[in-house]
Structure formats: C-alpha cells, structure tokens
Amino acid sequence: MLLEAIYHQPKSQYAYAYDEETLHIRVRTKRNDMDRVSVVWGDKYDFVPDKITTTEMEVFAKDSLFDYYQVAIKPPFRRFAYAFKFEKGDRTVFWNEVGFTEDSLSSSGVGMLWSPSGMFEFPFLNAVDVHTPPEWVKNAVFYQIFPERFANGDPSLNPENTQAWTHESVPTRDNFFGGDLQGVIDNLDYLQELGITCIYFTPFFEAFSNHKYDTIDYLKVDPQFGDNKTAKKLVDEAHKKGIRVMLDAVFNHSGYYFPPFQDVLINGEKSRFKDWFHIKEFPVSTDPLNYDTFGFVPEMPKLNTENREVRAYLLKVARYWVEEIGVDGWRLDVANEVDHRFWRDFRDTVKAANPDAYILGEIWHNSMAWLQGDQFDAVMNYPVTNSILDFFVKDEIDAESFMGRLDAMQIAYPKQANEVAFNLLDSHDTPRLLHIAEGNKDRMKLAALFQLTYMGAPCIYYGDEIGMTGGGDPGCRKPMIWEEEYQDRQLFEFYKNIIQLRKDHPALKDGTFKFLSAEKDNKYIAFERTDENDRFIIVMNSGDTKQKVEINDMEPGKFRNLYGTG
C-alpha cells in the first residue's frame, strides 16, 4: 500500500454536495494498489460504533499513476463525519483527519465538542451552497456562430468594402463579408434540421473589428449586424424552434474605442473614468505600455472590475440581455483574469433575471476555483478538446494516456460541472477540426462521434458539419458555405445522425461514463454509458488497422455500426 499516493481534501472536488441530499466522496490511491476501498461514516453528533456505516467505493476514474474512487451517500441529517478504509491482502489501514492507523480507526478527542473523533467532515449540506447548473444544458447541442460570417440577411447593413460571399471567399484579419443577425434568423430552419438546440454567438455588440471582441457599447447590437430589436426577434424566433441563445461577455477588457477609455486617453488624470482601468501612471502611454491590458495588447485595456461604477455598468449589461432580450446564457471571455468577487455578483444578477441561465467561463486551465457553485456553471473544456484531438485526430497519444487525461478532468471537478462542461473541438480561435485532421474525414468523424457520446455539452463550430476548412485565425473564419454543391451533405447527415442519437438517449447525456478498455500502446478504446434504461458500449478504433476487441459482461442487445467499415 503506497500511503504517499493517497489524497483527499474535505469540502472540495473530493467531497461535495451533488444535490440537496447527496454527497459525493472521492479518494485517490496508487493505480491498482488496493483490493478494496471504503468510506466509514456516521453523524458527527452520534459517531458511536453501532451507528457507523462502512460503504464500499468504486473506481470511477483512472490515469497512469492513480485510481480514483467515488461513492454517493445521503446522510440522514445532512451532516457527515467520515474516514477511509483501505484493504490489500491481510493489511487494513484507516485514514482520518488525524492520520493513518493500522487495523482500527483511531479517534482523538476530549469531550463531545472536541472533534468527535478526528474524522473528516462535511459539516452540513446547505441547499443554497449546492452547485446546480441548469438542467437543460445536459440535453443541449451547441452551435457556435461568428456573426460576421454566418449569413448575410440584410445587405443594407453591409459595411463599406464588404467582400463577395462565395465558397471561395478569403477572410483576412480585417475584411468584412456582411454577416448579420437577420442572416441567422433566415437560417434557423437549417439549424433546426441539423438538430442543434443552442446557438453560442461570439460578440455582436458594437465594436470596431470584424470579431467584435473590442467592445465600444455593451448595450447595443453592432449596426453592421442589426439593432437590439433584431436581436430580440432572433431570440424569440429561435425560442419558437426550441433553440436557445448564449452570448459572449467580454468583461475582462474593453475595446480601445470604448468611450470611457477614450475619455481617459484625452483627459488623463482628470477623466472621471480614470479608475475604470488599471492605469499605472499618467499620461497614459501605449509604448511603453503603462496600463494593464489583455495580454500585451494596448487596444484591449483591462477593465477595473473592482471599481463600483464599472461593476454597476457591467452588471447592468449582464441583466439587460437576459431580462430584456431573453438570452439564455453568457459565455465569459478571459474569465479567469477577472476577480472572483465580480463573478459572484454576476451570478447573483444573472440568476435573479433567469435562474435557468447558463454561465460558462472561458478558462483554459484547471478551473476548480470557479466551479464551487458560487461563480460559473461550467467551463469551456479545453483539456478534453486537446485529448480528443491528440488521440483521434493527431494520433499522438495512446489509449491509456487518452483515458488518463479525460479521467483527470472527472476528478478535477464536481460531477455536475462535468455534466454541463462545454466540449468544443475547434472555434474561431483555432484551426478548424478538418484542418487539424489534415482533411481526413474519418478522423474528424471519430472525434465528433466521441464528442457527441461523451459527458458534457458538445459544441459544433459553424460549417464544420458541411466540411468547411481553414487554419488558425483568419483561415477558420471563412463565410459559411451555403451553395449546396460545395457542402459535404454526407457529413451533414453524419452530424445530424449523431446529434439525434444523443438526443434520443439520455444515457449518452447524463448516464455514467466508464472506460472498459484503454490500454497502453493501444489505439482503440471501449467505454460505456449507462442509465436506468440504456447501456451503451461504444468501441472506437483510432488506429489504421482492424482490431479485435473483447468486451466481457455483454448481454444480448442491439448493435449498431455507427460509423466505419467493419
């Protein structure tokens, strides 16, 4: 037994409330080290031998070094004192907050109140603290639209020098094609046919650039795209078709032409907006840069979200689009550079306007600090993105490593955050999936199939479903191809089918997930998704040669060859 490998932290992703009556308790051990792991638990105010329960835990995730055990328990009085019991051969070790002991559980205490018995504790399950993302996200299939490039529905709004929109159009960093909100309204039937249930829009507020991440007015649709009435109409029409709408909140920084920043540039220390940013000294200088920015980009001054006026302004924005326009969620740009306190207020504001709104952080790294129930519902799941690409598309890692990297995310967050994680494979910031796959549509389909059968909410980048190509920005931002002869309609049918498969079977959305096969040096995997109705066993081969995979414990059932030749 390797005691050094064992890890647990009370009140964390290792011990959290899954719902108002259920706790999830997890513990880490060295891979394949234990015969049996159990949690030994009772009420903290009645922790006496005949009222202590021992419940066996199950391995729910693995990587090359560790096994991760989990168990769900409903403590009758919502209070929970616990320890762990590890068994291997003849040896039994107990572990509580005081430390490890052999053979029997030790307690340390002097009196009722004196740490009843040195146990770990989940002191009380208060409903208000439970992390509860909106239920609809589990069932959602997202579709990302870059508004300037999806469809031109109102040519009267075209900016000067709008380029022709054809299947051969070449995007540059600063050209325009005339995409707008009416274009999206006009094509809702297309989205409905594909089967998607929520549009994620990159910003459409007034801004200077074609990507609109350099906001000028957060309360106004960019005139190139329409006006706030068009936005309202879009949301209403989408809702009628069962399609929700999520917007992009760029609250970390404003654009250069944001009037308060312009005021600071002009009036310097005398500007009434001087505290809206992080200016280190006056006069403001872009070279050398003497104010905080996104990255080192002078055109994107970081907003001072600690300032009362800035907070009030941004919270007004957050409320306006949800309350007045009816949008269903916010995706938060560069979310991890804005203060936690702001995001807590943001959550309160948005959920007061619509308790069912989805709050999604753009974070590329471990995000546990934002997923404790007080800030975000979920984050953009880049580690899963990279793992899927590395295994299915780039062929860079083996099955064990793929499992390890995915399962690391399972232990990294509470289950409810993973159930609504935003699983994308590409975006306006990356090369397109088909580009990364070097045109290999088989690999692209494997990746998409995994995405659509894995935990979390999948998101398809506009045009991927019809075979659009393109490298990193600006290549990935081509205008949507609407001429059917240049669309890959077979690919479209494939996407439509796997979306429908997911929608038809709750087990593929919030069933349990478990790898059945993911071995070192192998290129194939098998995994299972199970709920009370269905048990899916999905086998996928990312290698170039045929594989024979043996799955034990199979009952006779329906088999469908979703994709492939074998």
Which CB, 123 or 283, lies closer to a second copy?
Answer: 123
Query: CA–CA distance from 345 to each of 14, 221, 339, 341, 543 (Å)?
Result: 26, 24, 10, 7, 48
Nearest to 515 by CA among 503, 530, 500, 504: 530
Nearest to 242 by CA among 200, 197, 201, 199: 197
**Contacting residue, 134, 178, 195, 431, with a second copy by CB under 8 A:** 431
Helix (H) or strand (E) holding 403: helix 399-412
336 binds a second copy (CB under 8 A): yes
**Contacting residue, 35, 48, 74, 127, with a second copy by CB under 8 A:** 127
Which CB, 187 or 286, lies closer to a second copy?
Answer: 286
Name the minimum Å distance from CB 319 to a second copy: 20
Query: 121, 10 in Cβ contact below 8 A?
Result: yes
Show contacts with a second copy in window 351-380 (CB under 8 A): 363-366, 368-369, 374
**Contacting residue, 249, 425, 436, 468, with a second copy by CB under 8 A:** 436
Candidates 180, 214, 248, 362; catalytic one: 362
Stretch that binds a second copy, among 67-75, 76-84, 263-271, 490-498 (CB under 8 A): 76-84
Candidates 148, 333, 464, 465; catalytic one: 333
Which CB, 227 or 337, lies closer to a second copy?
Answer: 337
Which CB, 375 or 541, lies closer to a second copy?
Answer: 375
HSE-CB of 343 using CA atoms within 13 angstroms: 28
Name the minimum Å distance from CB 251 to a second copy: 13
**Contacting residue, 129, 217, 442, 528, with a second copy by CB under 8 A:** 129
Stretch that binds a second copy, among 117-125, 234-242, 260-268, 316-324 (CB under 8 A): 117-125
Name the minimum Å distance from CB 74 to a second copy: 15
Which CB, 240 or 308, lies closer to a second copy?
Answer: 308
Residue ranges in 454-532 assigned as alpha helix (H): 489-504, 507-510
Query: 39, 25 in Cβ contact below 8 A?
Result: yes
DSSP 8-state assignment for residue 518: -
Which CB, 113 or 164, lies closer to a second copy?
Answer: 113
124 binds a second copy (CB under 8 A): yes
Show contacts with a second copy in window 384-413 (CB under 8 A): 386, 390, 404-405
The strand pairing partners of 94, in sequence order, are 85, 101
The strand pairing partners of 245, in sequence order, are 199
Beta strands in 298-379 (DSSP E): 329-332, 358-361, 378-379
486 binds a second copy (CB under 8 A): no
d(CA 496, CA 451) in angstroms, rounded, equals: 14
**Contacting residue, 237, 299, 337, 442, with a second copy by CB under 8 A:** 337
Name the minimum Å distance from CB 350 to a second copy: 16
Show contacts with a second copy in window 14-53 (CB under 8 A): 30, 45-46
HSE-CB of 198 using CA atoms within 13 angstroms: 24
3-state secondary structure of 23: strand
Helix (H) or strand (E) holding 512: strand 512-517
**Contacting residue, 344, 489, 493, 547, with a second copy by CB under 8 A:** 344
**Contacting residue, 21, 87, 121, 528, with a second copy by CB under 8 A:** 121
Here the tokens at position 385 are: 């993105």
User: Which one-letter amino acid corresponds to residue 256?
Assistant: Y
Helix (H) or strand (E) holding 458: strand 457-461
d(CA 524, CA 446) in angstroms, rounded, equals: 11
Show contacts with a second copy in window 499-558 (CB under 8 A): none
HSE-CB of 420 using CA atoms within 13 angstroms: 24
Which CB, 4 or 544, lies closer to a second copy?
Answer: 4
d(CA 328, CA 145) in angstroms, rounded, equals: 15
Name the minimum Å distance from CB 48 to a second copy: 12
Q: 């540039």: which residue's tokens?
A: 265
d(CA 235, CA 227) in angstroms, rounded, equals: 13
Which CB, 149 or 405, lies closer to a second copy?
Answer: 405
Name the minimum Å distance from CB 470 to a second copy: 13
Which CB, 2 or 551, lies closer to a second copy?
Answer: 2
The strand pairing partners of 423, in sequence order, are 458
Query: 289, 301 in Cβ contact below 8 A?
Result: no
| 362 carries an active-site annotation | yes
DSSP 8-state assignment for residue 481: P
Query: 469, 433 in Cβ contact below 8 A?
Result: no
**Contacting residue, 108, 163, 175, 187, with a second copy by CB under 8 A:** 108
Q: How many chain residues bind a second copy (CB under 8 A)?
A: 67
Stretch that binds a second copy, among 75-83, 160-168, 195-203, 208-216 (CB under 8 A): 75-83
Q: Which residues bind a second copy (CB under 8 A)?
A: 2-5, 7, 9-12, 30, 45-46, 65-66, 77-79, 97-99, 108, 110-111, 113-115, 119-121, 123-124, 126-129, 292, 295-296, 305-306, 336-342, 344, 363-366, 368-369, 374, 382-383, 386, 390, 404-405, 429-431, 436, 472-473
Catalytic residue numbers read 333, 362
